[in-house]
Amino acid sequence: MTDPKIKALFGLKYNPFLPNIPAEDLWTPPGAELFLFRIETLVMDGGFALISGEPGMGKSKLLHLLATHLEQIDGVVVGTIQRPQNTLGDFYRELGALFGVALKPSNRYGGFKALRAKWREHVKSALFKPVLLIDESQEVYDICFNELRILTSAHFDSECLLTTVLCGDARLKDRLASPNLLPLASRIRVRMILDPLDRDNLLAFLNHLLERAGASHLMTPALCQALVDHSAGNLRILTSMAADLLGAAVDREINQLDEKLFIEIFSTNPRVLKHKNRSRKRS
């Protein structure tokens, strides 16, 4: 399926059901506006925040939304860890690369002092704490978590030199309850837990995607309801099913997606039937 075909058949600016939608078109889930405001406040003082939820609930998209929001604030520096499963040495190297500090692997204490000095220098000039975002945080080693906690703490834990946002699935939440990470968990000041969404919010999400992509007419209202009812409150399941339907519509050169196409594609699909049963149990 190619973008030219999508544009020609449906008038879409892009495929709204793929992960790479533009940052300005991201959907704001319920409670996210308050979360963004609280993080904006946290950046003044530093500290830890957490985004958590089951897979497919929109954690990474919320982190993307947060990064876009913070980057628009003059003086806020945002760094994103690309490889959360780093060993401690590589974790320091990536921090150095993110914040413009040349670190020597043979001198970790020197790197410790250099990073703290860099962050203090930034705070003096910008009055904001630098921000570190870690997606897939459930992959981070305990030793790196604890090193980060100590690295960012100053003046007998009365000052935090960095604002760190951890984003991960339920495994992260479980790990933070372990004795080894309780000192870190106790320092999390802002939390956003993403739970399965109800039908109204799922429908709002789907309509938002269609509207921002420039084709509110792409799906019939009945099809939108069918997708919502079979998604088990999960955004990834919803967009995956919608992407399958869009692909089938392109192949068949159908101008509008409807419930008839849904039945053709998914009526014998065990995955959809399973999600349907889950939805019924919750309702």
All domains of the chain in start order, with CATH: 3-14+197-282 (no CATH), 32-194 (3.40.50.300)
66 vs 256: CA distance, rounded Å: 34
Reported as a single tens digit per residue, the pLDDT across 189-248 is 999 999 999 999 999 999 999 999 998 999 999 999 999 999 999 999 999 999 999 999
Q: What is the mean pLDDT of residues 250-270?
A: 85
pLDDT at 9: 78
44 vs 129: CA distance, rounded Å: 6
Reported as a single tens digit per residue, the pLDDT across 51-98 is 999 999 999 999 999 999 999 999 999 999 999 999 999 999 999 999
Strand order in the sheet with 47-53: 78-81, 131-134, 163-168, 47-53, 188-194
pTM, two decimals, is 0.89
Reported as a single tens digit per residue, the pLDDT across 26-50 is 999 999 999 999 999 999 999 999 9
In this prediction, residue 268 has a pLDDT band, given cuts at 50, 70 and 90, of: low
